[in-house]
Amino acid sequence: MKYTFAEVSIKTIRLHEPTSQPAGDPEKIRQLWEKYVTASDWYDPNKEAFVVFLLNSRLNCIGFNLVALGTLSEVCCHPREVFRPAIAGAAYAIAIAHNHPSGDSTPSDADRSITRRFRESGEMLGIQVIDHVIIGNGSQFSFRELGLM
Protein backbone atom coordinates (compact mmCIF):
# COMPACT_ATOMS: atom_id res chain seq x y z
CA MET A 1 0.00 0.00 0.00
CA LYS A 2 1.12 3.49 -0.74
CA TYR A 3 0.10 6.41 1.41
CA THR A 4 0.27 10.01 0.35
CA PHE A 5 0.25 12.73 2.95
CA ALA A 6 -0.43 16.38 2.40
CA GLU A 7 2.32 18.69 3.52
CA VAL A 8 1.36 20.21 6.84
CA SER A 9 2.83 23.31 8.37
CA ILE A 10 2.07 25.00 11.64
CA LYS A 11 2.75 28.69 11.98
CA THR A 12 3.68 29.52 15.52
CA ILE A 13 5.04 32.96 16.26
CA ARG A 14 8.12 32.30 18.35
CA LEU A 15 9.17 35.11 20.66
CA HIS A 16 12.85 36.06 20.41
CA GLU A 17 13.09 35.87 24.17
CA PRO A 18 10.60 34.24 26.54
CA THR A 19 8.58 36.74 28.51
CA SER A 20 10.27 37.69 31.76
CA GLN A 21 7.14 37.30 33.88
CA PRO A 22 5.14 34.08 34.13
CA ALA A 23 1.78 34.01 32.36
CA GLY A 24 0.07 32.39 35.31
CA ASP A 25 -2.56 35.04 35.94
CA PRO A 26 -5.25 36.45 33.65
CA GLU A 27 -3.82 39.97 33.63
CA LYS A 28 -0.52 38.66 32.22
CA ILE A 29 -2.44 36.71 29.55
CA ARG A 30 -4.38 39.86 28.70
CA GLN A 31 -1.09 41.76 28.39
CA LEU A 32 0.25 39.08 26.01
CA TRP A 33 -2.99 39.39 24.01
CA GLU A 34 -2.70 43.17 23.76
CA LYS A 35 1.01 43.13 22.93
CA TYR A 36 1.10 40.33 20.36
CA VAL A 37 -2.37 39.35 19.14
CA THR A 38 -3.86 42.78 18.55
CA ALA A 39 -0.66 43.78 16.70
CA SER A 40 -0.95 40.85 14.27
CA ASP A 41 -2.00 41.62 10.71
CA TRP A 42 -4.77 38.98 10.82
CA TYR A 43 -6.43 40.39 13.95
CA ASP A 44 -9.90 41.88 13.51
CA PRO A 45 -11.59 43.15 16.71
CA ASN A 46 -14.98 42.49 15.10
CA LYS A 47 -14.33 38.73 14.94
CA GLU A 48 -13.64 36.21 17.65
CA ALA A 49 -10.03 35.01 17.56
CA PHE A 50 -8.91 31.91 19.45
CA VAL A 51 -5.22 31.88 20.39
CA VAL A 52 -2.97 29.44 22.23
CA PHE A 53 0.05 30.79 24.12
CA LEU A 54 2.93 28.33 24.45
CA LEU A 55 4.61 28.32 27.84
CA ASN A 56 7.91 26.89 29.05
CA SER A 57 8.43 25.11 32.39
CA ARG A 58 8.68 28.48 34.17
CA LEU A 59 5.34 29.44 32.58
CA ASN A 60 7.00 32.17 30.51
CA CYS A 61 5.49 32.64 27.07
CA ILE A 62 7.72 31.31 24.29
CA GLY A 63 5.27 31.77 21.40
CA PHE A 64 1.66 31.88 20.27
CA ASN A 65 -0.54 30.51 17.52
CA LEU A 66 -3.84 31.64 16.00
CA VAL A 67 -5.98 28.52 16.29
CA ALA A 68 -9.13 29.90 14.66
CA LEU A 69 -10.67 33.12 13.47
CA GLY A 70 -14.44 33.17 13.75
CA THR A 71 -17.36 35.50 13.30
CA LEU A 72 -18.84 38.30 15.37
CA SER A 73 -20.37 35.89 17.86
CA GLU A 74 -18.52 32.57 17.72
CA VAL A 75 -15.36 30.71 16.88
CA CYS A 76 -15.06 26.97 16.41
CA CYS A 77 -12.02 24.99 17.44
CA HIS A 78 -11.14 21.48 18.50
CA PRO A 79 -8.54 20.21 20.98
CA ARG A 80 -6.41 18.80 18.14
CA GLU A 81 -5.98 22.33 16.71
CA VAL A 82 -5.19 23.77 20.15
CA PHE A 83 -2.60 21.16 21.09
CA ARG A 84 -0.94 20.75 17.67
CA PRO A 85 1.22 23.91 18.04
CA ALA A 86 1.89 23.06 21.69
CA ILE A 87 3.28 19.67 20.73
CA ALA A 88 5.22 20.99 17.73
CA GLY A 89 6.60 23.87 19.81
CA ALA A 90 7.59 21.61 22.73
CA ALA A 91 5.45 23.62 25.16
CA TYR A 92 5.39 22.57 28.79
CA ALA A 93 1.98 24.19 29.29
CA ILE A 94 -0.46 26.44 27.45
CA ALA A 95 -2.77 29.33 28.16
CA ILE A 96 -5.70 29.80 25.82
CA ALA A 97 -7.56 33.00 25.13
CA HIS A 98 -10.23 34.38 22.88
CA ASN A 99 -12.03 37.67 22.56
CA HIS A 100 -15.69 38.58 22.65
CA PRO A 101 -16.25 41.44 20.17
CA SER A 102 -19.40 42.40 22.11
CA GLY A 103 -17.11 43.55 24.93
CA ASP A 104 -18.80 41.27 27.48
CA SER A 105 -16.27 38.74 28.75
CA THR A 106 -18.93 36.50 30.37
CA PRO A 107 -18.46 32.91 29.10
CA SER A 108 -21.19 31.17 27.14
CA ASP A 109 -22.25 27.58 27.80
CA ALA A 110 -20.16 26.60 24.76
CA ASP A 111 -17.12 28.37 26.28
CA ARG A 112 -17.57 26.40 29.49
CA SER A 113 -17.99 23.10 27.67
CA ILE A 114 -14.97 23.49 25.37
CA THR A 115 -12.79 24.61 28.28
CA ARG A 116 -13.62 21.36 30.06
CA ARG A 117 -12.63 19.42 26.92
CA PHE A 118 -9.34 21.33 26.64
CA ARG A 119 -8.51 20.66 30.29
CA GLU A 120 -9.24 16.94 29.90
CA SER A 121 -7.28 16.73 26.64
CA GLY A 122 -4.30 18.47 28.23
CA GLU A 123 -4.33 15.99 31.11
CA MET A 124 -4.19 13.10 28.64
CA LEU A 125 -1.32 14.70 26.71
CA GLY A 126 0.65 15.81 29.74
CA ILE A 127 0.35 19.48 28.74
CA GLN A 128 -1.18 21.59 31.47
CA VAL A 129 -3.80 24.15 30.50
CA ILE A 130 -2.97 27.04 32.83
CA ASP A 131 -6.04 29.14 32.04
CA HIS A 132 -8.66 30.05 29.47
CA VAL A 133 -9.15 33.79 29.41
CA ILE A 134 -11.96 35.57 27.60
CA ILE A 135 -11.05 39.12 26.65
CA GLY A 136 -13.72 41.84 26.65
CA ASN A 137 -13.53 45.60 26.44
CA GLY A 138 -11.47 46.53 29.49
CA SER A 139 -12.22 43.25 31.27
CA GLN A 140 -11.35 39.60 31.19
CA PHE A 141 -12.89 36.40 32.49
CA SER A 142 -10.55 33.74 33.88
CA PHE A 143 -11.68 30.14 34.22
CA ARG A 144 -8.74 29.55 36.56
CA GLU A 145 -9.64 32.39 38.93
CA LEU A 146 -13.08 30.86 39.42
CA GLY A 147 -11.62 27.41 40.10
CA LEU A 148 -12.87 26.00 36.79
CA MET A 149 -9.40 24.87 35.62
Nearest to 97 by CA among 16, 12, 31, 13: 31
pLDDT in tens, 66-118: 999 999 988 999 999 999 999 999 999 999 999 999 999 999 999 999 999 99
Asked if pLDDT for residue 3 goes beyond 50, the answer is no
pLDDT reading at 8 higher than 60: no
Neighbours of 11 (CB within 10 A): 7
Give the tens place of pLDDT for each residue, 120-143.
Answer: 999 999 999 999 999 999 889 999
58 CB-contact burial (10 Å; exposed 0-12 / middle 13-18 / buried 19+): middle
**Structure confidence at residue 147 as a pLDDT band (50, 70, 90):** confident
CATH of span 14-142: 3.40.140.10
Eight-state DSSP code of residue 91: -
